[in-house]
Amino acid sequence: MQAGIEDIVDAVRKHHELYRDALPLIASENITSNTVRTLLASDLSHRYAEGDVGSRFYQGCKYIDEIEEKAIRYAKELFDAEHVNVKPVSGVNANIAVLFALTSLGDRMMALSISDGGHISHSKYSVPAMRNLELETFPFDAKEMNIDVSKMVEVIKSKKPALILFGGSLFLFPHPVSEAREAADEVGAKIVYDASHVLGLIAGNQFQDPLREGADVVASSTHKTFPGPQGAILLCKMDIKDKIERAVFPGTVSNHHLHHVAGLAVTLAEMMQFGEAYAAQTVANAKVLAQCLYEAGFDVLCEHKGFTKSHQIAINVLKDGGGAAVAEQLERANIIINKNLLPSDKDPDKPSGIRLGVQELTRIGMKGSEMKEIASLITRVVIAKADVNKVKDEVKALRKGFQDAMYCFDGKDAYKFPELKLSGYL
């Protein structure tokens, strides 16, 4: 048994070493600040606080109430939200709560298909099935990599969905929330916006503002472009507050993860201070990387509209062996990406595309010059078929100077627990 424990610890150590020496370009990941990582290892991870601030089912929650109240207050200020709930423990959990709050069994809803960029939790096999909802997918313009607005309005009026769910997993451009609002009102539909991928860009005023554009609810995970702990958040209008609250607790969450709430509160404060600069640099980095890859010969989607307005880049690599093969090639060089379906794809195991996200590299301080280097490294692996071990050495050399989270309050005066300080990826 002791040997098994040592094996687990050793595997964690090797994982840390891998990411210390790699270029992580998974669009759904990020790193927290050291302050947040310290809080995630705190005694809060052992505790329960069922109920609401000031009204708990357990004693010993005095300071937990203080932490959760601050998280809610900071989120209201950062997102200009009427009501906030920080209890959902994941983005899918948040989506489940919203669909249970705002639909009845057998209702119709609209969302993106997976091949057009929708998240798996939006698909007929996931959350809609739990609620026995009839799923209508958005009409999609593959050339523009976005929802076809005029056709969308027609479908809303003809199909009369009870709920319209925007957002996705492949999310290059803002979704047409404001364009859907009038039609939604006409048929009595609620609009939900899954901001999981772009919450940090929204916080930094660099993408779109779904609440002002007409969304009734924003549901989001908190660990992608928003560089917080894994967990989720709900922002909504006051007229549906009670439905959302009941659907979260006791509906779909018993005890929420209190150490995550503390980490979320700190990340909200970080984003209030640094979010605009971080989000702007993230989008700028994505555009530079996309342009350099395009110039190197890659089929980067949407060149005619600047490739992207988010942290993501989508590339058709069918001529280079397909998404799975390219992702595996790059991993051997310590460049971590994921294969991804594109609108024409049918088989999720053999997609023609890859998806890159620059939010984590931006978080550790990389800018345009590093994006150019990374584009060169990717090109050498995929197109030039260079020796992956040589490229891997160059990846390690590039990463050596970028080990700590930026755009945060970390520093010699930031810690109440200096003895627990964690350095960079180790």
> Could you read off the pLDDT of 243-288 as tens digits, one per residue?
999 999 999 999 999 999 999 999 999 999 999 999 999 999 999 9
pLDDT given at position 130: 83
Residue 1, C-beta contacts closer than 8 angstroms, at least 6 positions apart: none
> How far is it, in rounded angstroms, from Cα 309 to Cα 332?
29
pLDDT given at position 329: 98
> Could you read off the pLDDT of 192-249 as tens digits, one per residue?
999 999 999 999 999 999 999 999 999 999 999 999 999 999 999 999 999 999 999 9
Domain boundaries defined on the chain: 35-269
Confidence of residue 423 (pLDDT cuts 50, 70, 90): very low
Confidence of residue 155 (pLDDT cuts 50, 70, 90): very high
Within 10 A of 265 (CB to CB), how many other CB atoms are there?
24
Confidence of residue 411 (pLDDT cuts 50, 70, 90): low
Confidence of residue 417 (pLDDT cuts 50, 70, 90): very low
Cis status of the peptide bond prior to 227, with omega within 30 of 0: no
Answer whether residue 165 shows pLDDT above 90. Answer: yes
SS (H, E, C) the chain: CHHHHHHHHHHHHHHHHHHHCCEECCCCCCCCCHHHHHHHCCHHHHCCCCEECCEECCCCCHHHHHHHHHHHHHHHHHHCCCEEECCCCCHHHHHHHHHHHHCCCCCEEEECCHHHCCCHHHCCCCHHHHCCCEEEECCEECCCCEECHHHHHHHHHHHCCCEEEECCCCCCCCCCHHHHHHHHHHHCCEEEEECCCCHHHHHCCCCCCHHHHCCCEEEEECCCCCCCCCCEEEEECHHHHHHHHHHHHHHHCCCCCHHHHHHHHHHHHHHHHHHHHHHHHHHHHHHHHHHHHHHCCCEECCHHHCCCCCCEEEEECHHHCCHHHHHHHHHHCCEECEEECCCCCCCCCCCCEEEEECHHHHHCCCCHHHHHHHHHHHHHHHCCCCCHHHHHHHHHHHHCCCCCCCCCCCCCCCCCCHHHCCCCCC
pLDDT given at position 421: 44
Asked if 219 contacts 192 with a C-beta cutoff of 8 angstroms, the reply is yes
> Could you read off the pLDDT of 44-80 as tens digits, one per residue?
999 999 999 999 999 999 999 999 999 999 999 999 9
Tell me how many degrees the CA angle 367-174-102 measures, rounded to the nearest 5: 130
Average the pLDDT over 29-43 and give the result: 96
Within 10 A of 277 (CB to CB), how many other CB atoms are there?
12
**HSE-up (13 A, CA, CB side) for residue 397:** 8
pLDDT given at position 67: 97
Residue 63, C-beta contacts closer than 8 angstroms, at least 6 positions apart: none
Fold of 35-269: Aspartate Aminotransferase; domain 2 (3.40.640)
Residue bearing tokens 């989506």: 95
Answer whether residue 313 shows pLDDT above 80. Answer: yes
> Could you read off the pLDDT of 83-142 as tens digits, one per residue?
999 999 999 999 999 999 999 999 999 999 998 988 888 887 788 888 889 999 999 999
**For the stretch 233-260, what's the b/e string if a residue is b when 16 or more beta carbons lie within 10 angstroms of its beta carbon?**
bbbbeeebeebbbebbbeebbeebbbbb
Confidence of residue 420 (pLDDT cuts 50, 70, 90): very low
Residue of higher predicted confidence among 426 and 188: 188
Asked if 329 contacts 391 with a C-beta cutoff of 8 angstroms, the reply is no
Tell me how many degrees the CA angle 25-227-375 measures, rounded to the nearest 5: 20
> Could you read off the pLDDT of 352-405 as tens digits, one per residue?
999 999 999 999 999 999 999 999 999 999 999 999 999 999 999 999 999 999
Asked if 92 contacts 100 with a C-beta cutoff of 8 angstroms, the reply is no
> How far is it, in rounded angstroms, from Cα 70 to Cα 279?
23
pLDDT given at position 197: 98
Q: What percent of the chain has pLDDT over 70?
A: 96
